[in-house]
Amino acid sequence: MTRPAVLITGGATRIGAEMARGFAKAGWHVVVHYNSSSGPAEELAAALPSAEIVQCDLSDDEAAVEMILELAGRISDWRCLINSASVFSYDGATDLDPETNREAMQINALSPARMSQLFLQRAQSNDLRCVIQITDMKLANPNPDFFSYTMSKHALSATIGMLAKSADQPRTRIYGIAPGAILASHDQSEEETEVSHRLNLLKRKTGASEIVDAALFLATGAARSGQTLYIDSGQHLLDQDRDVIWLAREQVKARQASDHSGG
C-alpha cells in the first residue's frame, strides 16, 4: 500500500464519516472504526478508493489498545489517528449521573488517551505522525448542560498539551479540533437545528466540510504541536448559559407563539 493511512474512530457516521470521505479524496487509505454501525461502515468503505473497517467497543479500553497494536503491526505508513468517536448523553451540573459519567469518561477520554499513547509508541510512518483529538467548543464556552460529556472533553483536551510535550520526535504532532454546532443533535426539529447552528458570532452555519479541511490541514504538520483549532464561527467566544439545543428551542417556541397570536 502506497497511500498514507489514517484511523478515524467513529468514522462510519456523522462528522467521522465526513472526515473519512475527505481524507480518501485527498489520497489517504482510511481505516473506518465503528462500534455498532456495521452497515454504514461497510457502505462507506466500499464507496472509498482505499479503505477498510475495524470494529471495537471503546467502552473497553483494553480492546481499544488491542486494536491499535493490531493495526500498528501491519500498516507500514500509518500517519494519523483521529479520535472522533464520542457519546453525548445528558446529565446536568446539579445532577451528575454516575453511569453517564463513567461511560463518557471511558469512551471520550480514557480510550482515546490510551490509543494515542500506543499510536505514538508503535505506529510506523514514512513521514509525519499525527494525533488529532476532536474536543468541543464547550472547552471555552461551558454551560451546565451535558455535564459529564463536557467533563470528558476537558479531560481529552488535557491530553493534547501533555502528549505534545512528551513527544520528542521532530515529525510528531498532537492537535485538537474543537467544533461548535455542526449537525442536528438529539431530538432537534429542523427549525430548531437551523436556529441553533447560527447562535454564534458570525450568525452562520459551520459546515462539516470546515472540520474536514481543518483535519486535513493539521495532518500536514504545518501547525505547532499542541494547538487546538476552534471551528465554530466564533461560538466559543460567547457566554451561553445553556446548550444551544435549549436556547434555540426557546427562540422557536417564542416565534411560534408570536405567529399564533398574530403579533
Please give the pLDDT value at position 262: 63
Please give the pLDDT value at position 62: 98
pTM of the model: 0.95
Placement of cell 448523553 in the chain: 89
In 3D space, the residue among 141, 193, 111, 206 whose CA is nearest the CA of residue 214 turns out to be 206
Domain extent for 173: 5-189+201-238
Please give the pLDDT value at position 257: 77
Q: Which residues of 60-89 are buried (b: 16+ CB within 10 A; e: fewer)?
A: ebeebbebbeebbeebebbbbbbbbbbbee
Torsion-angle region of residue 187: left (phi > 0), alpha (psi -120 to 50) or beta? Answer: alpha
The answer to whether residue 257 sits within a structural domain is: no
* Residue 261 grid cell: 397570536
Please give the pLDDT value at position 261: 67
Tens digit of each residue's pLDDT (9 = 90 or more) over 32-59:
999 999 999 999 999 999 999 999 999 9
State the SS3 of the chain.
Answer: CCCCEEEECCCCCHHHHHHHHHHHHCCCEEEEEECCCHHHHHHHHHHCCCEEEEECCCCCHHHHHHHHHHHHCCCCCEEEEEECCCCCCCCECCECCHHHHHHHHHHHHHHHHHHHHHHHHHCCCCCCEEEEEECCHHHCCCCCECHHHHHHHHHHHHHHHHHHHHCCCCCEEEEEEEECCCCCCCCCCHHHHHHHCCCCCCCCCCCHHHHHHHHHHHHCCCCCCCCEEEECCCHHHCCCCCCHHHHHHHHHHHHHHHHHHCC
The answer to whether residue 260 sits within a structural domain is: no
The answer to whether residue 254 sits within a structural domain is: no
Please give the pLDDT value at position 47: 98
Please give the pLDDT value at position 70: 98
The answer to whether residue 175 sits within a structural domain is: yes
In 3D space, the residue among 238, 239, 63, 58 whose CA is nearest the CA of residue 152 turns out to be 58
Q: pLDDT by residue for the chain (263 residues), tens digit each?
A: 789 999 999 999 999 999 999 999 999 999 999 999 999 999 999 999 999 999 999 999 999 999 999 999 999 999 999 999 999 999 999 999 999 999 999 999 999 999 999 999 999 999 999 999 999 999 999 999 999 999 999 999 999 999 999 987 889 999 999 999 999 888 889 999 999 999 999 999 999 999 999 999 999 999 999 999 999 999 999 999 999 999 999 999 888 877 766 65
The answer to whether residue 28 sits within a structural domain is: yes
Q: Total domain count for the chain?
A: 1
The answer to whether residue 253 sits within a structural domain is: no
The answer to whether residue 244 sits within a structural domain is: no
The answer to whether residue 166 sits within a structural domain is: yes
User: Domain holding 46: CATH number?
Assistant: 3.40.50.720
